């Protein structure tokens, strides 16, 4: 099949505070955007050559047993043992088996969502994906409430739940997990060794309190497969962000894909300041040198796909 053209030169991932937001003006405007069905199908087919979201979304029970040794993807020399708890929580069948949705929302965590009024629009999609256990209740008007799948990097336990130092924080996390109410909780447990204990704490909490979530733990090959796909499209990503992983997976089971909260720049299209996250005080420096992510580069690729009608980016207010 024909190549998907994701144009643009490769620029360094450093955020240029002066004019980055102007360069990233989104065209066509929301009202003019049209879905390109042919292109979406072509992208789905291409991605299927690298990964199968139905399989790679989670390791299944049948493929591991307690005591098995896993090498961390980013720390090849470090290993973990599959614990009894982890084993218990592995799904028997893929949570995406035979799933197809008309329209899906992927909600990134950029502060661009604040005052967007996008909550209702987001909730109207058939399948809503959120990232890193971001809070919704207090921001419902702008981000909505519906959650069908939510990701949770182990680092979230440290950043948002004080590493569960006391009963109050454990209770907070527990409440958040209970509020998921049957949705898929996607935990990248095999990426980096730093998350070892945190994953175990969460697993334990879920089992002990019979939390109603469907846990999923991405396959060992997902990361490389996703990077491989984008590489063949000339997008050189060191470590894909959760947001990009979700888009890449969603192409498999979503007909139309709508992205909200993807805006890795400190100013919006009208030059107003934008928070890095809509819900906390994390700063932008975090995305540049220190982090292995290349969000602005990813954004450029997503923007190009928006222009071609393969996905729709919303970076302003919803009508």
Q: Which residues bind ligand CTP (CB under 6 A)?
A: 108-110, 131-132, 153, 241-244, 261-264, 276-277, 293, 295
Is 93 within 8 Å of 60 (Cβ atoms)?
Answer: yes
Is 278 within 8 Å of 139 (Cβ atoms)?
Answer: yes
For ligand CTP, the closer of residues 86 and 156 by Cβ is: 156
Taking the CA atoms of the chain, what radius of gyration do you get in angstroms? Answer: 19
For ligand CTP, the closer of residues 33 and 260 by Cβ is: 260
Is 139 within 8 Å of 113 (Cβ atoms)?
Answer: yes
Does 24 participate in catalysis according to the annotation?
A: no
Shortest spacing between CB 155 and ligand CTP, in angstroms:
8
Residue 194 has φ and ψ, to the nearest 5°, of -55, -25
Shortest spacing between CB 277 and ligand CTP, in angstroms:
6
Shortest spacing between CB 1 and ligand CTP, in angstroms:
26
The C-alpha atoms of residue 302 and residue 304 are separated, in whole angstroms, by 5
Token pair 């997990």: residue: 177
The C-alpha atoms of residue 90 and residue 33 are separated, in whole angstroms, by 40
For ligand CTP, the closer of residues 30 and 87 by Cβ is: 30
Shortest spacing between CB 11 and ligand CTP, in angstroms:
16
Q: Where are the alpha helices (DSSP H) in the chain?
A: 20-23, 37-48, 53-56, 84-89, 119-123, 140-143, 155-161, 167-178, 196-208, 222-232, 242-253, 295-307
For ligand CTP, the closer of residues 41 and 225 by Cβ is: 225
Cβ neighbours for 268, distance < 8 A, ≥ 6 positions apart: 21, 112, 274, 315, 316
The C-alpha atoms of residue 97 and residue 104 are separated, in whole angstroms, by 16
**Burial status of residue 166 (CB atoms within 10 A of its CB: 0-12, 13-18, 19 or more):** exposed
Shortest spacing between CB 223 and ligand CTP, in angstroms:
11
Of 24, 125, 293, 306, the active-site residue reads 293
For ligand CTP, the closer of residues 61 and 303 by Cβ is: 303
For ligand CTP, the closer of residues 2 and 290 by Cβ is: 290
Token pair 């929301």: residue: 30
Shortest spacing between CB 73 and ligand CTP, in angstroms:
13
Tell me which residues are annotated as active site: 293
């Amino acid at each position: 099949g024909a190549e998907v053209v994701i144009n643009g030169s490769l620029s360094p991932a450093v955020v240029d505070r002066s004019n980055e937001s102007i360069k990233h003006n989104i065209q066509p405007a929301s009202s003019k955007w049209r879905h390109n069905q042919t292109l979406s199908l072509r992208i789905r087919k291409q991605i299927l050559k690298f990964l199968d979201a139905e399989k790679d979304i989670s390791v299944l029970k049948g493929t591991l047993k307690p005591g098995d040794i896993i090498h961390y993807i980013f720390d090849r020399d470090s290993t973990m043992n599959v614990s009894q708890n982890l084993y218990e929580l592995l799904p028997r069948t893929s949570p995406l088996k035979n799933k197809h949705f008309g329209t899906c929302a992927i909600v990134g965590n950029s502060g661009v969502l604040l005052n967007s009024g996008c909550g209702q629009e987001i909730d109207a999609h058939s399948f809503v994906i959120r990232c890193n256990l971001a809070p919704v209740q207090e921001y419902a008007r702008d981000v909505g409430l519906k959650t069908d799948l939510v990701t949770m990097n182990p680092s979230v336990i440290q950043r948002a739940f004080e590493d569960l130092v006391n009963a109050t924080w454990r209770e907070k996390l527990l409440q958040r997990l209970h509020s998921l109410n049957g949705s898929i909780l996607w935990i990248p447990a095999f990426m980096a060794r730093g998350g070892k204990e945190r994953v175990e704490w969460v697993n334990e909490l879920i089992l002990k309190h019979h939390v109603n979530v469907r846990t999923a733990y991405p396959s060992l090959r997902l990361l490389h497969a996703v990077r491989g796909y984008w590489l063949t499209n000339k997008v050189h990503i060191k470590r894909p962000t959760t947001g990009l992983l979700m888009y890449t997976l969603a192409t498999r089971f979503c007909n139309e894909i709508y992205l909200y909260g993807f805006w890795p720049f400190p100013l919006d299209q009208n030059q107003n300041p934008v928070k890095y996250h809509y819900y906390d005080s994390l700063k932008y420096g975090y995305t540049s040198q220190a982090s292995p992510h290349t969000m602005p580069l990813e954004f450029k690729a997503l923007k190009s796909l928006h222009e071609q009608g393969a996905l729709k980016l919303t970076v302003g207010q919803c009508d």
